[in-house]
Structure formats: structure tokens, C-alpha cells
Amino acid sequence: MKHHQANIHEVPQGKYQALILKPPRKIVLLVFALLLLTIIPFYYPSLSNSLFLRKTIPNPPSLPSSSSHDIISKEEEAAHEELPSITNNLKCDIFTGEWVPNPEAPYYTNTTCWAIHEHQNCQKYGRPDSEFMKWKWKPDGCELPVFNPAQFLELLRGKSLAFIGDSVARNQMQSMMCLLSRVEYPIDVSYTTDEKYKRWKYTSYNFTMASFWTPHLIKSKEADVHGPTNTGLFGLYLDELDEAWTSEVEEFDYLIISAGHWFFRSLVYHENNNISGCHYCLLENVRDLGMYYGYRKAIRTALKAINSLENYKGITYLRTFAPSHFENGIWNQGGDCVRTKPFRSNETQLEGANLEIYMIQLEEFRTAEKEGRKKGLKYRLLDTTQATLLRPDGHPSRYGHWPHENVTLYNDCVHWCLPGPIDTWSDFLLEMLKMEGMKSAEEKLYSRDRRMH
């Protein structure tokens, strides 16, 4: 450990992205492993504690003016009615842009929304600044409308949406629930009391939202609670499914799948019913293949599982990696995220592990998309990485718990305060749903063209 600590201290002081380290890769990964261990009180009983449930919301903030008039009831109609703006945004990359001030935000608070997870309720724990809630994403070359909950629910009437992933996926679902709470709260229709698998029903819209806890997306088992770094060691079954979600999602109309943070920890890879290698396991006679090997295969297996679901006809969104923002050290060495403003796009860039994970996601997405197209399945990239990278100010830091509380991840620079930057992920999703009609038409043309040539 001495050796590791010496290296950790080489992290350039005051430099953004302290996680992108110069020291040998293994140590970097070890650090990540340590970090990730601790983010892992991933689900808490707070949601079942609906003491704060309110049927009526006092002073609901006004709907964003831009789009409350054009509520759409069918995707087909969307394609026709909204032709100009859709065409515009089809050519515009909504994921490249800057954060601009938005004095209207936020659109909910911890008193109007009960769905905020304890550890992301930054207001409750005394976060003193509020500017981090007051931004919106401005794509280069077009506008991204602020989320309109009534429009979203109308569009998804009679449909179902599932979030598949880790605690950041849950964070995303809760953000969406809070945005939607201006219109309606769902009722709990979960099949189990296990908080890892929640189902919510928006009864007026017959819209179902669900979350499936699967931090590695595939079958995994904690093999050893200690492991080489005393942070646990996970067995990862790279060619086996996590049936807790794969057996349940067939009837869903939309899947939002995401993962990443859990792969930094020590892993033993299993393939063909045999150990094939590992990531920082320090076991004799087991080859260290690094984390990216396992990450790539896990995503591949998960997306293949979706493509082989017999009755699935939905659209699959891959929500790309959301970088963490520790600065001036790692998570347990004084690292923190104390900024109160977003970066401009010229102030930082995607690099190191963030870039690597993102690239793997893009590559595996393309492969799955190609495969899916043969079966008529659609894939979309919910490409949140760039916008998220620019928000070092959006994490709970030390305001995810009381100061005296003994929590392992004291400064949380991984999850996101609510309200906060990831509310924008719903802006992206709604815009993509609105573009869907147009995109489908384009894809039909494309496949017809190909058949003709």
C-alpha cells in the first residue's frame, strides 16, 4: 500500500480530472476499485418511505413555454406536426454544445418531489449554493427544449420504459420521476419488495416505468468480500446473462441501458465455465486482462441478450458513461468536487478511462445496432457523456449525508444532486422520442435503398 500511496500523491494538484493519473495503470485501477466499492450503498429504503408523498403539489412551477402547446399523442403525428423542428434537430447533434444559464430552473425541489434519493438530496444536507441547478444545455446549432412532462407522458401513453443499470441509472430514473411529478406521481406496482427492482405506474397515462438493478449488466457474484484490495472481488460471467432483467424486459417499449462504474473494481472473468482472466485480482495463474476486456464483453453480452429476445420490439437506448469528477486527490485521499459552475467545452476534454469506456460503448453499440437492424430492432445512443463531463459542479460532494455520518464515500463525486444536471438527460430523451417518427421513416428509406442496390 505504501507504494500505491506514493504514486497517488503524484496526482497533479489542482488539475481537473484527478482520476486520470500518470502512475502505472494498475494503481490507477486499484484506486478506481477502492472508489467504486464505496459508492455502493446503491439502493436505500428511502423510496419505500413515502411519508412525503403528496397528491397535490403546492405551486407547481410553470411549464416551459416553448412546447406546452404542441402535445402529441402519437409518434406518427409527431412526424407530421413537428416537421420543421424535427428536421432541424435531425441534422443537429443535440449532444454537442454548452451549458447556458437558465433562471427558470429548477422545475422541482426536495419539497415538491419525494422521489429524490437520500444521498442525492443535496439541499437537505446543507449544500449552500444553488447555481448548479440553474443551467440548461444549448446544443451547437439548435435548441434543446426543456423537458415538458405533460408532453412526455402523452407521448408515452400506454407504453413502458425500463432503466437497466447501476445506481446512476436509478439516479436518472428518480430525476425523471421528479420532473414528471408536476403532472402526476406514479403508484408503486413493483412485483417484489426488493428495492433493486421497482415498477411504477402512471395511472392516468397507463405508462409504466421500471428499474432493474444490474451493475455489471451480466451475471456477477461477489466471490470474496475482501479480495486483493480489501474492497471485494467480483466474479463476472462474461458469457452469461443476468436473468433478473433479461427475463423481464421483453414486453417493454423502451429500454435505457447504462453501466461502467462497477468495472473499476477487482474482477475475475469467467467464460465457457472456466476462469479466463481477471482485472486486478492478484491471483496466481490468472492472467490480468484489464478492466476494458471485461467491460467490452459485458456490454456485448447484454446487448446480444436484447437482440435475442424473442418478442421484444422496443427501442433500446444506450446511455453513455457519466464521468465522475474527483479533483485534488482520489476519493479517500481528500479528493473532492467543490466547483460551483459548469466547464465550458474548451476547458476540459474526455480522456483516460472516461474516453476508453465511452469508445467501447460506441463500438459495441454500433455492432448491436447492425445486428438488431436485421430483426427490425432499433438502437439509439443517449449520448450524455459530453454534457455530463462539463458538470463537475453537479455532484453531492459532502452534501449527500450529515457531516458526522460515517460513510465510506464521504465526498460523492459520482452520483448527481437532484435537482441537478442529469435532469437534462430527460430533455435529451424527450427530444429523441419526438424525433423518432422522422428517424424511422429515414431508416425505412435507407433499408429500401439498400435492397434496391
- Asked about 70 being catalytic, the answer comes back as no
Q: Are 386 and 96 in contact (CB under 8 A)?
A: yes
Binding of ligand NAG by 59 (CB under 6 A): no
Answer for which of 206, 308, 340, 349 binds ligand NAG (CB under 6 A) is: 206
Binding of ligand NAG by 275 (CB under 6 A): yes
> Between residues 227 and 260, which has the closer beta carbon with respect to ligand NAG?
227
> Between residues 121 and 148, which has the closer beta carbon with respect to ligand NAG?
121
Binding of ligand NAG by 311 (CB under 6 A): no
CA 106 – CA 61 distance, rounded (Å): 9
Binding of ligand NAG by 347 (CB under 6 A): yes
> Between residues 252 and 358, which has the closer beta carbon with respect to ligand NAG?
252
285 exposure class (CB count in 10 Å sphere: 0-12, 13-18, 19+): exposed
Binding of ligand NAG by 346 (CB under 6 A): yes
Binding of ligand NAG by 361 (CB under 6 A): no
> Between residues 121 and 307, which has the closer beta carbon with respect to ligand NAG?
121
Answer for which of 22, 344, 366, 370 binds ligand NAG (CB under 6 A) is: 344
| Cβ atoms within 10 Å of 191's Cβ, excluding its own | 10
Catalytic site residue from 46, 67, 85, 167:
167
- Contact pattern from residue 150 through residue 189 relative to ligand NAG, giving x for each residue in contact according to CB under 6 A and a dash for the rest: --------xxx-----------------------------
Binding of ligand NAG by 17 (CB under 6 A): no
CA 402 – CA 389 distance, rounded (Å): 27
For ligand NAG, how many residues bind (rule: CB under 6 A)? 16
Provide the 3-class DSSP secondary structure of residue 450. Answer: helix
CA 336 – CA 396 distance, rounded (Å): 10
DSSP assignment of 4-48: HHHHHTTSPTT-S-TTS-SS-HHHHHHHHHHHHHHT-----GGGG
225 exposure class (CB count in 10 Å sphere: 0-12, 13-18, 19+): exposed
Closest by CA position to 112, among listed 425, 426, 418: 418
Angle CA 381–269–300, to nearest 5: 20
Answer for which of 406, 449, 452, 453 binds ligand NAG (CB under 6 A) is: 406
The x, y and z cell numbers of residue 431, run together, are 427530444
Binding of ligand NAG by 355 (CB under 6 A): no
Closest approach, Cβ 290 to ligand NAG, in A, equals 16
- Asked about 415 being catalytic, the answer comes back as yes
Provide the residue count of the chain.
Answer: 453
Q: Which of residues 422-451 bind ligand NAG (CB under 6 A)?
A: none
Binding of ligand NAG by 3 (CB under 6 A): no
Phi, psi for residue 428 in degrees, rounded to 5: -60, -50
Window contacting ligand NAG (CB under 6 A); options: 76-84, 189-197, 340-348, 378-386: 340-348
Binding of ligand NAG by 111 (CB under 6 A): yes
Binding of ligand NAG by 124 (CB under 6 A): yes
Instruction: Tell me: cis bond preceding 419? Omega within 30 of 0 counts.
Output: yes
Binding of ligand NAG by 123 (CB under 6 A): yes
The CA distances from residue 67 to 62, 90, 424, 439, in Å, are: 12, 18, 16, 20
Window contacting ligand NAG (CB under 6 A); options: 24-32, 34-42, 333-341, 344-352: 344-352
- Asked about 167 being catalytic, the answer comes back as yes
Closest approach, Cβ 110 to ligand NAG, in A, equals 4
Q: Are 385 and 350 in contact (CB under 8 A)?
A: yes
> Between residues 205 and 365, which has the closer beta carbon with respect to ligand NAG?
205
Catalytic site residue from 415, 423, 426, 427:
415
Exposure string of 331-343, with b = 16+ CB inside 10 Å and e = fewer, is bbeebbbebeebb
Closest approach, Cβ 272 to ligand NAG, in A, equals 6
Contact positions vs ligand NAG (CB under 6 A): 52, 110-111, 121, 123-124, 158-160, 206, 274-275, 344, 346-347, 406
Annotated catalytic residues are 167, 412, 415
